[in-house]
Structure 1
Amino acid sequence: MSVNDIRVLSWHPQYKSYFESINRQWIEENFKMEAGDIAVLQHPEEHILAKGGDIIFVAVGDKIAGTVALRKQNDTTVEMTKLGVDPNFRGLGLGRLLMLEIVERARRQGYTKMVLYSNTKQAVAIQMYRNYGFIEVPVDPGVYERCNIQMEIPLAPPALKQVAAGIREAVGAAAEKMKRYNEKEVTEKRAPDKWSRKEILGHLIDSGFNNHARFIRAQQAKELETPGYQQDFWVSVQHYQDADWSVLIGLWQGINNNIARVLELIPDEPLAHVVSVGSYAPVTLQFLAEDYLAHLQHHLEQITV
């Protein structure tokens, strides 16, 4: 089985029966179904989704193998609940994958705390929560009859949120300036061996497409080797000097706005993955993202000054 066989799926009504069957299995195996369980599992649209929550699933191949829900408590706090994995797929780390994904979804939505309610009989799950950073707190009464342990974790904003914001700000401000240049201003070279404004922007487009792929692939492997590219050749062979300036601006804005969106979605764990680009020294994914913004700002100064 490869990593491509495992996928996280968002809620769809056709998965509703799995939400009930997977959770009913582990609850009945260890405890008994409570009235609250029955209500939530049979009517998740009403008790979770309609109240601002979320439900996700993990699939192995074409089989739904696990599920977890996010239930809103208030504007700052959410509960992770109904985390279950089909017995046929246990031992593959799917519970941890579901936990990581639901935590990241809560962070991206701006929540600052996540809580969960469990029982000490679920020793493996509780150790997983502790390893991730959940801490034990006094138990809120009346949530579940079976609950004898409550845990919580603070949710910080996504680590690359500021980098993404910096990209959006730089792109938005520069695009407004660039739209005011005439054809002579964007094709003129300041020296025979220097790029014109069009060619610099073309280089930034190339940088965007190359790095976008790295930002995706580096999340899939703890160590990624990826080729560099010959910048002058790329600029020359694409004849950016003859391209429509307004088309280049739109293309550049589009790829960078998508890069900003992608960076905000990267969880904390892959940020430490190591990326080797061509002959350059290996760096972390986080450094690669931060350096991308610095590179972008450097060349924008050349265009807009």
Structure 2
Amino acid sequence: MNAANDARVLAWHPDYQPYFEQFNKAWITSNYTLEPIDRAVLEHPQEHILAHGGEIIFVALGNEIAGTVAYKQVDDNTVEMTKMAVDNAFQGRKLGWLLATSIMERAALAGYTRMILYSNTKQAAAVAMYRKLGFAEMELESGGYERCNIKMGIDLPAHPLAPLARELRQTVAQTAEKLLRFSEQEAGARPAPGKWSRKEILGHLIDSATNNYPRFIRAQHSEYSELPGYNQDFWVEARQYQHEPWPALVQLWKALNLHIAGLLPLIPAAALGHICVIGPGAPVTLQYVAEDYLRHIHHHLNQIFPVHANY
């Protein structure tokens, strides 16, 4: 079997947790002592990794899960590659390399710019692989895993829109809960005749998301694109956001923007210079469209949350 051709990288699913636990406990106990932190992370990865900005992936050969690796967040810019393990039945097929490169790519797409890892020089093959990947040895601080005697790090190649995507995710995460604090009456109140209510402002941001998503896709196809604009007042009135339940609008806005945040780092860097003409507007680059999309969100969120108010 050619691992390079037959291997599939799989995203986290709760059904895969037993493999994450089994593979890692097997290799740790065969070489070292299983530490309390190992048990906590392996038995409850959703709590210790996924809930704090981390990710876990798996590699499968055919219908069999063969290996796993994760990254967990260290700070806003740095993640730690951790808990890499390949089942004994699939050793020697370069699955470790596939897992490492895949988790590095995913961390970069998530907007992280630095990855570290901890290992032991007894794992000579693994340390050699990390060096080939570009990891360099760093000063090892005390207080970590007892079995680790080497720390390594690497700068991750940043996609130009990765920080933007990350800021969009953070904006959504920080704002959605605050939006839900408004009652239906507060969300539907208009500040003055002819002015949008909070429901209508958020409805406009929903319209903005549904119009900009296809722009981000279509503008990748050619170096010059003419894309339709839209009449924002007509859209808001046509959809009658004023009569929609507030929680439903918040959840829709959140889902659409998380979808867009996942798309932005996937746009090829070479396409960011493509020229877009939107409606009667002046020509701008695709990168400008993406950056202006987030500026537009912040502008209208400032209308929903006046700066003098305490939410």
Smaller-chain TM-score bracket:
0.5 to 0.7
Give the TM-score, by structure 2 length: 0.55
For residues 143 and 62 of structure 1, do their structure 2 counterparts lie closer, same or farther at Cα, with a shift above 3 Å needed? same
Match of 1:10 in 2: 11
Identity of aligned residues (%): 49
Aligned Cα root-mean-square deviation (Å) = 3.7
CA distance in 2, matches of 1:83, 1:42: 15
Match of 1:106 in 2: 107
| 1:103-252 alignment, distance < 5 Å | 103-158=104-159, 168=216, 171=219, 174-176=226-228
Secondary structure class of the residue paired with 1:71: strand
Match of 1:62 in 2: 63
Secondary structure class of the residue paired with 1:124: helix
- Contact 1:67–1:84 (CA under 8 A) maintained in structure 2: yes
2:94 alignment partner AA: G
CA distance in 1, matches of 2:155, 2:40: 28
- Contact 1:68–1:80 (CA under 8 A) maintained in structure 2: yes
1:82 alignment partner AA: K
Match of 2:85 in 1: 84
| Offset of residue 297 of structure 1 | 5.1
For residues 297 and 144 of structure 1, do their structure 2 counterparts lie closer, same or farther at Cα, with a shift above 3 Å needed? same
CA distance in 1, matches of 2:65, 2:218: 42
- Contact 2:23–2:67 (CA under 8 A) maintained in structure 1: yes
1:180-200 Cα offsets, whole Å, 9 max, x none, are 9xxxxxxxxxxxxxxxxxxxx
Residue-pair matches, total? 200
| Offset of residue 174 of structure 1 | 2.4
1:149 alignment partner AA: I
For residues 90 and 151 of structure 1, do their structure 2 counterparts lie closer, same or farther at Cα, with a shift above 3 Å needed? same
**Structure 1 runs, 4 residues or longer, greater than 6 Å off:** none
CA distance in 2, matches of 1:129, 1:174: 46
2:72 alignment partner AA: R
Match of 1:228 in 2: none
CA distance in 1, matches of 2:142, 2:227: 55
Give the TM-score, by structure 1 length: 0.57
1:52 alignment partner AA: G
Secondary structure class of the residue paired with 2:9: strand
For residues 293 and 36 of structure 1, do their structure 2 counterparts lie closer, same or farther at Cα, with a shift above 3 Å needed? closer
- Contact 1:170–1:297 (CA under 8 A) maintained in structure 2: no
CA distance in 1, matches of 2:272, 2:115: 31
1:234-278 Cα offsets, whole Å, 9 max, x none, are xxxxxxxxxxxxxxxxxxxxxxxx9x949x449xxxxxxxxxxxx
| 1:240-279 alignment, distance < 5 Å | 261=263, 264-265=265-266
Structure 2 residue runs of 5 or longer lacking an equivalent are: 163-214, 232-259, 284-311
| Offset of residue 30 of structure 1 | 1.0
CA distance in 2, matches of 1:58, 1:142: 31
| Offset of residue 158 of structure 1 | 3.0
